Structure 1
Amino acid sequence: MNRRHSFHALAAAALAVLAVPAAHAQAWPTKPLRIVVPYPPGGSSDIIARSISQPLSEALKTTVIIENKPGANGNTGTDFVAKANDGHTLLLCDVGALAITPSVYPKLPFNPSKDLKGVGMLAYSPHLLVVHPSVPANNLQELVALSKKQRIDFAVTAIGSAPHVAGVAVEKATGAKWEYIPYKGGSQAINDTVAGQAHVLMNGMLATLPFVQSGKLKVLGVSKATRVALLPDVPTIAEQGVKGFESGTWQGVLMPANTPQAVLEKVSAELTRIIRMPEVRQRLTSQGAEVYTMSPTEFSSFFERERANWAKVVAQGGVKME
């Protein structure tokens, strides 16, 4: 083979290699997609999954199935996705909660930084600090004072969850005394607080706001840096003495680490387009969630920052699971 033919052969080979990811993304998906929500139905992640599933099905021309796989504070469903190798399984979860797990659980069966890749962020909603209407407190200071006089049961989606760690941070900062009551997800924690089985709840605004609007729960504070438009008269927790306090529920999508980058980019682009659709955006913003998109690269950087930030909070609060 002469030099000219050798050059053309090498160039053709290089182009063929470069074309593989693009071709893979074009051919994908080859079967139905599964969106795994690692919490029970009715929570913030579940609400968003059901908002995007039909538009995603139409965009990718395949069936999209939502599977709720709750257990172990979201770790059961997350582990399932981390070990999936079919290229068609997605995880839709609270990214903040996922960033907390390495600090809270010393023996996780997966490593979220190594076994999963971020596809994209979808939405953010701050936590609402709410109480059963019978609780004689109208702000955080009154609730703290009440907790020093009587037992206050604080419902959390699970021990080590984002609302639990946020509750611990407020407790440490204010001198409050909560008795934490763990549940298997946000919807169960909400239902028991509405029923008066628990006194206090901190949970994502997206799932909690309807109960505030119906008068079934009383809101005392919002965990955002600034007040929210839907609750303009409700002060932030930071305004009520916990300086710099901010927490919330970040919903995002991840896939197993062995997923080709071209597929991640394709799914990310479609999800960004779908979550920004006027009807989807309106549905979420009317319940207190903000559409908040990120590319896979931005998502990875955000996750590592969250992991480092929550590690400090967990260490200060002494939250650990065996």
Structure 2
Amino acid sequence: MKNHAFAPARRSWMRTAGIMAAMAWGGLTLAPGASAQAWPTRPVRIVIASSAGSTGDLLARMLAPRLESIWKQPVIVEAKPGASGIVGTEYVINAQDGHTLLLGTQTALMSKYTQKNLRFDPLTDLLPIAKVINYQMVIATNAPTAKRAGTLAELVALSKSTQNGLFFAGNGPTSIFNLSMAIMNQGLGLRMAAVDFPSVSAMNLALLRDDAQVMVNTPSSVKGQIENGTVVPLAAVSTERYTNLPQVPTLKEATGYSGYVPLLWAGFFAPKGTPASVVQKIDQDLRAVLDDKFRKQIESTFTGTTVSSSPPAFAKEIQAETAVWRDIFKAMDFKPE
């Protein structure tokens, strides 16, 4: 959204060093009458680009009432799944009401490199506000498969000895789960075929039914199943063991894997053109609601680590990470879908 009439105000604003760092991401603009004190003037929508009941949806619903108490306006969570996050992301980018935010993952950003004929550029059409959490991820199997292959190394061997290999439960070829597995599998060598499902809950059900034998997911998504033994985590997608799953080895410990270790996170974004003062207010208000007690509640619920962030810091982190993914896709000769 262009606003030539306020170019002088924009130039004045750019002189502030901290805001210049955020500008490097794609540029915040000042809008007529915009101020942090005046915002919000209507209900705020938090859009997640995944299905209702997903981890992102639940996180947004935990945050919403606390933000309502500060903003004095209703905060509505809307799930808009589809096309590996593109539907929800594009919806936010096209929003013109100044009160629509995205709580998204890097899946939305990687669409720049994974999708053909994209109608937007997530790296310039979205403004990073703040990262909220780094999630844990595990490579997991089901109980019947674990009886035949109780470790990740044994699962790799089983996949190679099985005539048609194993089935991987995915969430779309360009989802973070599928892409993470594709990257890790360069070093692991699993013989598998991806079967994609419309939601994370459908992925989980496929694993439980043995329609698939392996998946990448967050432990919180299958916490009950891990506890009752119907889902068996074989490796932590991490360089260190998780304190809540101390018995689960890291990828390196499990197989000697030494490649790139993907990280799944969630953070807030606003459409390009959102006033700088509003972006800063949202960031400040997020930090206000994320007190120590609430952080511990989120970390316990979602098996992850909450993050102290800011628009410039989040933008810098995203730039570094997307550069890594871009180079990995190039090395893989990955063809956009």
Partner of 1:273: 288
User: Structure 1 stretch 23-32 or stretch 258-267: which is displaced more?
Assistant: 23-32
Kindly indicate whether the alpha-carbon contact (under 8 Å) linking 2:46 and 2:77 is maintained by their aligned counterparts in 1. yes
User: Structure 1 stretch 166-175 or stretch 253-262: which is displaced more?
Assistant: 166-175
Describe the SS at the equivalent of 2:252: coil
Superposition RMSD on alpha carbons, in Å? Answer: 2.2
Give deviations 1:218-240, integer Å, cap 9, x for gaps: 11001111001000111011222
User: Is it true that 1:70 corresponds to 2:60 in the alignment?
Assistant: no
Partner of 1:173: 187
- Of 253, 256, 264 in structure 2, the residue corresponding to residue 249 of structure 1 is 264
Partner of 1:101: 111
1:280 Cα deviation from its structure 2 partner: 4.5
Give deviations 1:191-233, integer Å, cap 9, x for gaps: 2212222111101233233431232211100111100100011
User: Structure 1 stretch 283-292 or stretch 106-115: which is displaced more?
Assistant: 283-292
1:48 Cα deviation from its structure 2 partner: 1.1
Kindly indicate whether the alpha-carbon contact (under 8 Å) linking 1:35 and 1:64 is maintained by their aligned counterparts in 2. yes
Partner of 1:141: 153
- Of 55, 59, 77 in structure 2, the residue corresponding to residue 48 of structure 1 is 59
User: Is it true that 1:196 corresponds to 2:210 in the alignment?
Assistant: yes
Kindly indicate whether the alpha-carbon contact (under 8 Å) linking 1:210 and 1:287 is maintained by their aligned counterparts in 2. no
Describe the SS at the equivalent of 1:144: helix
Describe the SS at the equivalent of 1:30: coil
**Following the alignment from structure 2 to structure 1, what is the Cα–Cα distance between the partners of residues 136 and 329?**
19
**Following the alignment from structure 1 to structure 2, what is the Cα–Cα distance between the partners of residues 205 and 319?**
28
User: Is it true that 1:159 corresponds to 2:173 in the alignment?
Assistant: yes
Describe the SS at the equivalent of 2:143: coil
- Of 35, 41, 45 in structure 2, the residue corresponding to residue 34 of structure 1 is 45
**Following the alignment from structure 1 to structure 2, what is the Cα–Cα distance between the partners of residues 262 and 164?**
37
Describe the SS at the equivalent of 1:134: helix
Q: What percent identity do the matched residue pairs reach?
A: 29
Shift in alpha-carbon separation, 1:109–1:139, aligned structure 2, 3 A: same
User: Structure 1 stretch 67-76 or stretch 177-186: which is displaced more?
Assistant: 177-186
Give deviations 1:3-24, integer Å, cap 9, x for gaps: xxxxxxxxxx99xx98989962
1:293 Cα deviation from its structure 2 partner: 2.7
TM-score, normalized by length of structure 1?
Answer: 0.89
Shift in alpha-carbon separation, 1:242–1:120, aligned structure 2, 3 A: same
1:312 Cα deviation from its structure 2 partner: 2.2
1:178 Cα deviation from its structure 2 partner: 1.3
**Following the alignment from structure 1 to structure 2, what is the Cα–Cα distance between the partners of residues 209 and 220?**
14
- Of 130, 137, 142 in structure 2, the residue corresponding to residue 132 of structure 1 is 142
| One-letter code aligned to 2:304 | A
| One-letter code aligned to 1:139 | T
Structure 2 unmatched runs, 5+: 1-7, 14-29
Partner of 1:9: none
Give deviations 1:51-106, integer Å, cap 9, x for gaps: 10110111111100010000000000000001111110000111x22232211113
User: Is it true that 1:118 corresponds to 2:128 in the alignment?
Assistant: yes
**Following the alignment from structure 1 to structure 2, what is the Cα–Cα distance between the partners of residues 44 and 229?**
20
1:132 Cα deviation from its structure 2 partner: 1.1
Partner of 2:227: 213
Kindly indicate whether the alpha-carbon contact (under 8 Å) linking 2:104 and 2:267 is maintained by their aligned counterparts in 1. yes
Partner of 1:5: none
Aligned positions, number: 307
**Following the alignment from structure 2 to structure 1, what is the Cα–Cα distance between the partners of residues 304 and 119?**
31
**Following the alignment from structure 2 to structure 1, what is the Cα–Cα distance between the partners of residues 128 and 331?**
28
Kindly indicate whether the alpha-carbon contact (under 8 Å) linking 1:209 and 1:288 is maintained by their aligned counterparts in 2. no
Describe the SS at the equivalent of 1:27: coil
Partner of 2:35: 24
Describe the SS at the equivalent of 2:136: strand
**Following the alignment from structure 2 to structure 1, what is the Cα–Cα distance between the partners of residues 144 and 72?**
50
User: Structure 1 stretch 38-47 or stretch 81-90: which is displaced more?
Assistant: 38-47
Shift in alpha-carbon separation, 1:23–1:168, aligned structure 2, 3 A: closer
Shift in alpha-carbon separation, 1:25–1:131, aligned structure 2, 3 A: same
